[in-house]
Structure 1
């Protein structure tokens, strides 16, 4: 993925949304791309089947009204944040969700859709070059974590996770985590858009995490074909934790972005035993591109 033209940014609430908007704005400017901001408002009518689960009609009606009220509140807050953001950044053009879109000029749109976020966002992501999500540890009842995993598993496109705090400047130093898997290969392809214009690129690998497949040096050679100069460094686990070792290696490189494959092991195994994907989601303080 070298030519980025459309970036999807789902905002379920305002939690960690400002940092995601700033990162999306930076990406749109960098690539001359369109930033499609999307808020999915739950449909309270989906609670109707609960009437058959032991709840009375009156109780279901109350739940539907409460859900509608909360949905309206979140939609209003997200739209107000969007309006404040575009007012503060007049250099990005606001356009309707369906365009028209000027070529090679940064644009932004806002759209509200009704339904299940875990279904709508992956569907929209399939026709986006990548999906940018706010950091999932919002601590709010509405979290982007479910959206993140839905896109990872059901869109066929990369996910970029914004940092918790508003980032400063463009991405200049890119780390690519490599273990030889198909997931790592997909992340490598997604990272090309940033690696092509980065000041420095490093391929990180760990003997304890390497699978059968191409080596880190093979990745360096592949990047060279694309005109990208990179080095490769093997990092050790920290406290027997590969995720901690990867985090430390990124800090040693002063990286702005980490690209990595997600869930080389099953998600269930990672949730129970932990894993590199889970550790990175919980602890990364830089922009992370993940792909499956």
Structure 2
């Protein structure tokens, strides 16, 4: 069991650069290929949004401005990728999947296409073992991360949210958040390669976090069938905040990977009222593997 193909929706931000470095760390571990995908805004999508009362010339100018801005952004993202590829060392740049398959060691590739980011990323992620997504920016509402939610809700694949700072290690000490939900079960199944490789695994559970479903002893027994010994640990919410308690327990374990299900409650409820998923997305300083 291994992760061989990783998709990285690449942005030109500092978080995007950290995600690229994190994805390469994962690729070195699993001898994998990282395909960096930049989705440009399609100027044709602007026309329906222009509304009534605008002349054809005004709409054309708006589309032209969108095309210029999108092209400039794509150029910056490509430059970031090229700089990273030059300075990384020991990684080959593949111009096709066939080239990557014939290359020993980790490989990188880049593609820039026009379209709606959430549609393109969700559809393309289905052909990869995992998507690596940049951490939401410090001043960015987590609900605005189209690529992240596209993978979580529409790809059927796990997503690894990279931290804002590149981690020193990943996957050596793994915490799995367990609440009996289908989402947490899917996350643990997706994390099995990491769990087999880890030096230590801990199952984090709490009464306040539990949903309808099996208790922690059940998933511990399941992991034993896969020859994985996991230590169950009860965590306490901090000031009634389950997300903060979960993240604190993972830090206490010195985890370098947190595995969990996402949005056991509805996404709308979590975005409006807050919730465990939202807290982790906004505050985690370690890589987080999520499944929905």
| TM-score (norm. length: structure 2) | 0.94
Whether 1:77 and 2:76 are equivalent positions in the alignment is yes
Q: Which runs of 5+ in 1 are unaligned?
A: none
**2-structure distance, mates of 1:200, 1:50:** 52
Tell me the equivalent position of 1:145. 145
Alpha-carbon distance, 1:209 to partner: 1.5
3-state SS in 2 of match to 1:108: strand
SS in 2 for 1:110: strand
Residue aligning to 1:290: 290
Q: Find the counterpart in structure 1 of residue 61 from structure 2.
A: 62
- Compared with structure 1, are the counterparts of its residues 187 and 235 closer, same or farther at alpha carbon in structure 2 (3 Å cutoff)? same
CA deviation string 1:234-281 (max 9, x = no partner): 111110110011011011101111111000000111112111001111
1:160 alignment partner in structure 2: 160
The whole-number CA distance in structure 1 between the counterparts of 2:154 and 2:148 is: 10
CA RMSD of aligned residues (A): 1.8
Partner SS state of residue 67, structure 1: helix
Q: Distance in 2 between matches of 1:47 and 1:291?
A: 32
- Specify the alignment match of 2:3 in structure 1: 4
Shift in alpha-carbon separation, 1:97–1:140, aligned structure 2, 3 A: farther
Q: Who is 1:22 aligned against?
A: 21
8 Å contact from structure 1 (residues 51, 60) kept in 2 = yes
Shift of residue 44 of structure 1? 0.8
Aligned to 1:194: 194
Query: TM-score, normalised on structure 1?
Result: 0.94
SS of match in other structure, 1:16: helix
Residue pair 2:43, 2:64 contacting (<8 A) in 1 also? yes
Distance 1:162 1:71 in 2: 24
Corresponding residue pairs, total: 290
Structure 2 equivalent of residue 106 of structure 1: 106
Q: In structure 2, how many angstroms separate the alpha carbons of the residues matched to 1:115 and 1:132?
A: 20
CA distance in 2, matches of 1:50, 1:273: 30
Equivalence for 1:44: 43
CA contact (8 A) 1:175 1:259 kept: yes
- How far is the alpha carbon of 1:136 from its aligned partner? 1.4
In 2: Cα distance, 1:273 partner to 1:40 partner: 31
Q: CA–CA distance in 2 between the matches of 1:211 and 1:60?
A: 51
In structure 2, relative to structure 1, the CA distance for the partners of 1:231 and 1:51 (3 Å cut) is closer
Deviation at 1:110, TM superposition (A): 0.6
CA distance, structure 2, for counterparts of residue 203 and residue 35 of structure 1: 29
| Aligned partners of 1:187 and 1:259 also within 8 Å | yes
Deviations 1:177-213 (A, max 9, x none): 0000100011001111211111111010011121222
CA contact (8 A) 1:32 1:106 kept: yes
Distance change in 2, residues 1:215/1:104 (3 Å): farther
Paired with 1:32 and 1:267, the residues of 2 have a C-alpha distance of: 34
Instruction: Report the equivalent of 1:269.
Output: 269
The aligned residue for residue 255 of structure 1 is 255
Conserved? CA contact 2:169–2:256, under 8 Å: no
Distance 1:191 1:290 in 2: 9
**d(CA) in 2 for partners of 1:10, 1:150:** 11
Moved more, 117-126 or 84-93: 84-93
8 A contact 1:33–1:104 mirrored in 2: no
Deviation of 1:52 after TM superposition, in Å, equals 4.5
Per the alignment, residue 235 of structure 1 pairs with 235
